[in-house]
A and B are shown apart, each in its own frame.
Chain A
Amino acid sequence: MKLKKKTRLIKKTSKTFLLTGLVLAVLSSIALYFYTKGLLQDQEEESLYSTEARVVNALKNDQTVLSFPPVTEIKKVQHIRPEILKDTIIYDPSQDEMEEFRELSTYKKINGQTYQITVRYLVVESKDILIAIVFSNIAIFVLAFLFLFYFNTTKNIKLWSPFFKNLEQMKKFSLSSNEELQLVDSDVLEFSELKEEILLLTSKVRNDYEKLKQFTEDVSHEMQTPLAIIQAKIDNIINDHSINDKQFSQVSSIQKDIQRLKHLNHRITLLTKIDNNQFIRVEEVNITKLLEEKIENFKELEIDYISLSSKNDLIASMDVYLADILINNLISNAIKHSSQEKNISIISENKTLIISNYGQKALQHPEMLFLRFYREVNSMQSSGLGLAIVKKICDLYNFDLSYNFSENQHSFTVVFK
C-alpha cells in the first residue's frame, strides 16, 4: 500500500476553507456578472426602444426630427428591412475616439415614406457599472474570508490544543521509562474521552510489557538450575569408566548445546537488564584502548586478522561493562561472518567507530538485522541476539548505529556521543 501524503490538521482545514472561499467567490462573481449584465442589457434595450418609439411618434406627427449622430440617426430609404439589434463600435466625435455602442436599427413606413431609424446607447457606462459591481463583490468576499480564516484558525488552534498537547506527550511515550504521561484534560467530551482511553491503553501496554519482561527473566533464570544439573551429570558420566568413545563424543556434543543455552540465557538476561535500566553507572570509557585489548584477546583464539586504525583515542560516556559487550558483540559478529576472507578492519576516529568485514553480497534484509533472533544465514554459532544487544546498548545511550554494504564490505558504524 502506498502511503498517502500527510497534511497537518490545521493546514488541512485552512486549505479546505480557503478553497471553498475561492470557489464561492469565483462562482458568485460569475453569476453576478451574467445577472447584472443581463439586467443592464434589458435596461439599454428598453431605453433604445422607447427612444425609437418617440422618434416614430414625432415623425408620425410630421415634426421634424433632427439626427444626433451617433445617438440618433434618421435616414430615408427605399426598402423595409428586418429590425437589427447589435453591438457596434463607431467614432464618437464628442469624445474623439472609437466607442462601443448598442445599436437598434428599425425600418418604418411613416406617412408613405420609409425611414431607417437608428438609435444607439453608449455601453461604456454600463460596462463600468458591471465591473464595479463584480469587483466589489470579490473584494467583500476576500475580506470576509480573510477575517473568517483568521478567526477560524485561531479558534481551531485553541480548540485542538489539548489534542496536540496530548499527541506530543504520546510521542514521548516509552515502554522502558516509568514516567507517567502528563495528559491535559479538555471540556470537549471527545478529547476528554480520548485522554481517558490513552491513559487506559498505555497503562495496560506497560503492564503487559512488565509482565512479559518479568516472565522472560524468570524463564531464563529458572532454566539455569536444570541446565546446571544436566551439565553436572554429564561431567560425572564422562568420568565413568563404563562408556565408550562414541558415547563420549555424543555426551560432549550435549555439553556444547548446554553451552549454547547458557549463552542464550545470558543474553536474554542482559537485554532485560538493559530494559530495566540496571546500568546507571556512566563513566568515560576509552573505546580505543578497549579495542586494543579485545584484539589481543582474540589473538589467543588464533583470530589474528583484525586490524585497528586509530588517530586519536575514542572516548565514550557509558557503562564499562556495556562498552565491553558492545565492542565484543560487534567484533564477534564480524568474526562469525569472516569464513570466506579473513580480514576485519576497525577504524576509530573522534566519536565514530567502523567495523568492517568481507562479504560477497549485501544482506537481503538489512532492516531486520537488529531484530532479536533474526539470522541472515542459519548458523549454529549465532544466538541471534548479539546485534540486538548492540542495538539496545546504542539506543540506551542515543548512539547512532548503522549498517551498510559497499565494495564487498559489511560495515557497522557507531557514532558515540
Chain B
Amino acid sequence: MKYLIAEDEIDLQQSIVTYLERDGNLCEVASNFDDASEKVALYDYDVIILDINLISGSGLEILKAIKKEKKNVGVIIISANNSLKDKLEGLDLGADDYITKPFHLAELNARINAVLRRGKYGGDELIEFNELKIDTRSRTAYMDGNALALTKKEFDLLVFFVSNKGRVLSKEIIAEHLWGDDSDLLDNFDFIYVHINNLRKKLTSEGAKYIKTAYGSGYKFIAD
C-alpha cells in the first residue's frame, strides 16, 4: 500500500513511517502544508494520514482539495484537539476517520486497515489470514469456512490482532482499543487475559495457534 503521512512533527512522522513500513508498505511524508498540498495533487495514495494543524495551514483545506478532485483515497485525520466540533467538521468534509493525539500506532494501523477494507471491497469487508476469514460487515469469522462463535469483544480483539499481525501488543494498547477511556477504571488488566485466552482457545480448537505471548506480558498475532 502507498501512504502519505502529512505531519509537521518529524519525530511523530518518522515513528509512523517506521511502524507502517514493517508491513512492506510504501510511505511518503510531507512536513508542511505546501509540501502536503503538492503531493496530494500530484500523486495517488491509498490512504493519507493528515494532521489538522500543519505549521503553515490547516489540514482541513487539503481535505477539501482532495474531495473536490474526487480522488479515491482514504483520509485519516490526526488532531491534537479532542473537540467534537473538529471531529464532526472533519468527518463532514469527507474524512474516513479521526484520531486524537496521543494515539497508539497499533490503533492508527487498525484504523488504516478498516479504511482500506471499506474502500477496496465495497460491500464485502473481508480480511483474510491463511485459512482465517473475517467478514467485518456481518461481524463473523470463519476458519476453513466454519463460523467461529465469538463474543463481541473477542471479535473486536481478533480484528485488532489481525490488523496488527506480527506486532507486539501490550495489555495497555489492547485495553485502550477495546474499552477506550473506560479502561482507566480497571484496577488491573487481569480480565484481558480472560478475553484473550477465550479467543485463543477458540482459535486453537480449530488448529490455529496464532496468538503468541511476547515478553511475558504482551501478545503477538503471527502465523506458525
Q: Which residues of A are at the interface with B, using a C-beta cutoff of 8 A?
A: 221-222, 224-225, 227-233, 235-236, 238-239, 243-245, 248-249, 251-252, 255-256, 258-260, 262-263, 265-266, 269, 273, 278, 297-298, 300-303, 321, 328, 332, 335-336, 339, 381
Binary CB contact string for chain B from 154 to 185 against chain A (1 if under 8 A, 0 otherwise): 00000000000001101111001001011111
Binds A, one of B12-20, B57-65, B118-126, B136-144: B12-20
Query: Which B residues between 49 and 107 are near A, CB-CB below 8 angstroms?
Result: 78, 80-85, 100-106
Complex interface: chain B residues within 8 A of A258 (CB): 102
- Cα(A258)–Cα(B102), bound, Å: 8
A381–B182 alpha-carbon span in the complex (Å)? 11
CB pairs A–B below 8 angstroms (29 shown): A221-B81, A227-B101, A228-B78, A229-B9, A231-B104, A232-B19, A233-B15, A235-B19, A235-B104, A235-B173, A236-B15, A238-B218, A244-B215, A245-B217, A248-B214, A248-B217, A252-B171, A255-B170, A258-B102, A263-B184, A297-B182, A300-B152, A302-B191, A328-B182, A332-B182, A332-B185, A339-B187, A381-B185, A381-B187
B216 at the interface (CB under 8 A from A): yes
The residue among A222, A256, A298 with the most chain B CB atoms within 10 A of its own CB is A256
The dominant DSSP class at the A interface is: helix
Q: Which chain B positions have C-beta within 8 A of A273?
A: 83
Are A255's CB and B173's CB within 8 A?
Answer: yes
The answer to whether B82 touches A227 (Cβ under 8 A) is no
Q: Contacting B168 at CB < 8 Å: which of A238, A303, A321?
A: A238
Query: Judging by beta carbons under 8 Å apart, are A225 and B101 in contact?
Result: yes
Known: A245-B216, A259-B172. A301 touches B182 (CB 8 A): yes
Partner of A235, one of B9, B100, B106: B106
Please give the distance in Å from B42's CB to the nearest CB on chain A: 27
Q: Are B11 and A239 in contact (CB under 8 A)?
A: no
How many residues on the B side are at the interface (Cβ–Cβ under 8 A)?
A: 46
- Write out the residue numbers on chain A whose beta carbons fall within 8 Å of the beta carbon of B217: 245, 248-249, 252
Confirm or deny: B2 has a beta carbon within 8 angstroms of a beta carbon on chain A: no
Q: In the complex, are the beta carbons of B185 and A335 less than 8 A apart?
A: yes
Task: Tell me how far the C-beta of A111 lies from the nearest C-beta in chain B, rounded to whole angstroms.
Answer: 128
How far does the alpha carbon of A245 sit from the alpha carbon of B217 in the complex, in Å?
Answer: 8
Please, how many angstroms separate the alpha-carbon atoms of A249 and B170 in the complex? 9
Closest-CB distance, A291 to chain B (whole angstroms):
15
Residues of A within 8 A of B179 (CB): 300-301
Using CB atoms, name the residue of chain B closest to A257: B172
CB atoms of B170 and A238 under 8 A apart? yes
Check if A248 sits within 8 Å of B12, measured CB to CB.
no
Q: Report whether A303 and B185 are in contact in the complex, using a CB–CB cutoff of 8 Å.
A: yes
Q: How far is the CA of A37 from the CA of B19 in the complex (A)?
A: 113
CB <8 Å contact, A230 and B102: yes
